[in-house]
Amino acid sequence: MPHFDLAEIIRAIGLLGVWAIVFTESGLLFGFFLPGDSLLFTAGFLASQGFFNVWVLAIGCFVMAVTGDSVGYFIGHKYGRRLFNKEDSLFFHKDHLIKANEFYKKHGGKTIILARFMPFIRTFAPIVAGIADMHYSTFLAYNVVGGFFWAIGVTLTGFFLGSIIPDVDKYLLPIIAGIIIVSVAPSAYHVLKDKQNRKQLITALSAVVSRKKK
């Protein structure tokens, strides 16, 4: 099995590649599977090793995050409810859109900020805001705040940890794994707190265990 090394991938794609991924994951329908938090943290770490200028990296990521969310907003605003009738494909999963819609109904405008730290929801939240006809100036205000804390905050965290911890590269994989777990935890909690979802998960796990015993 080939070894997946995010740091090597980032070295290969450079600044433009990092910015393109941030833009795509922030608001395009097919960007939901891309690595967001771990990408920013690892790029920040590489900046601490002199591979990037940290401020050029962080500000560029912030601009791409805000721009990507705005594109997502206008996709939702233009195509609206038709997206809910779209069939699932490799690059579109309707269930993520539905979950983002439910999250938006519960938290309102704050969703744009909170969703920045939630994989999958992050991509679909601006689309849902567009569907809901949130006033664009209101959306943009939330978008800027969320984009700042996510794009600049996570990137600088990687930079500062890389600067102060000796040989931090030895611990990079566990740190990235921890970031992924922390990122997924809110979504997992949101799904598992629903009794029906817990039942379905237990049924699926039981079926897997039964097949293994045979």
Q: Residue range 194-209: average pLDDT?
A: 55
Quick one: pLDDT band at residue 199, thresholds 50, 70, 90?
low
Q: Is residue 1 part of a domain?
A: no
- Per 3-state DSSP, the chain is made up of helix, strand and coil in percentages (nearest 5) of 85, 0, 15
Q: Is residue 124 part of a domain?
A: yes
Q: Is residue 130 part of a domain?
A: yes
Q: Which residues contact 64 (CB under 8 A, 6 or more apart)?
A: 19, 20, 22, 23, 26, 151
Cα dihedral sign, 57-11-67-129:
negative
Q: What is the tally of structural domains in the chain?
A: 1
Q: Which amino acid is at 182?
A: V
Quick one: pLDDT band at residue 58, thresholds 50, 70, 90?
very high
- Give the residue carrying structure tokens 């890389």: 162
In sequence order, which ranges of 35-135 are alpha helices (DSSP H)? 37-48, 54-79, 94-107, 111-114, 121-131
Quick one: pLDDT band at residue 159, thresholds 50, 70, 90?
very high
Q: Which tens digit of pLDDT belongs to each residue from 172-188?
A: 566 666 655 555 555 55
CA angle (146, 151, 156) in 5-degree steps:
125
At residue 54, the pLDDT reads: 94
Quick one: pLDDT band at residue 39, thresholds 50, 70, 90?
confident
Say yes or no to pLDDT of 76 above 70. yes
Q: Is residue 75 part of a domain?
A: yes
Quick one: pLDDT band at residue 126, thresholds 50, 70, 90?
confident
Say yes or no to pLDDT of 33 above 60. no
At residue 172, the pLDDT reads: 59
HSE, CB side, 13 Å, CA atoms: give it for residue 161. Answer: 20
Q: Which amino acid is at 213?
A: K
Spatial distance between the Cα atoms of 40 and 150, rounded to a whole number of angstroms: 9
Q: What is the rounded average pLDDT for all residues in the chain?
A: 75
At residue 208, the pLDDT reads: 44
> Bigger pLDDT: 125 or 31?
125
Quick one: pLDDT band at residue 107, thresholds 50, 70, 90?
confident
Question: Domain containing 113: what range?
Answer: 6-213
Q: Is residue 118 part of a domain?
A: yes
HSE, CB side, 13 Å, CA atoms: give it for residue 41. Answer: 21
Q: Is residue 65 part of a domain?
A: yes
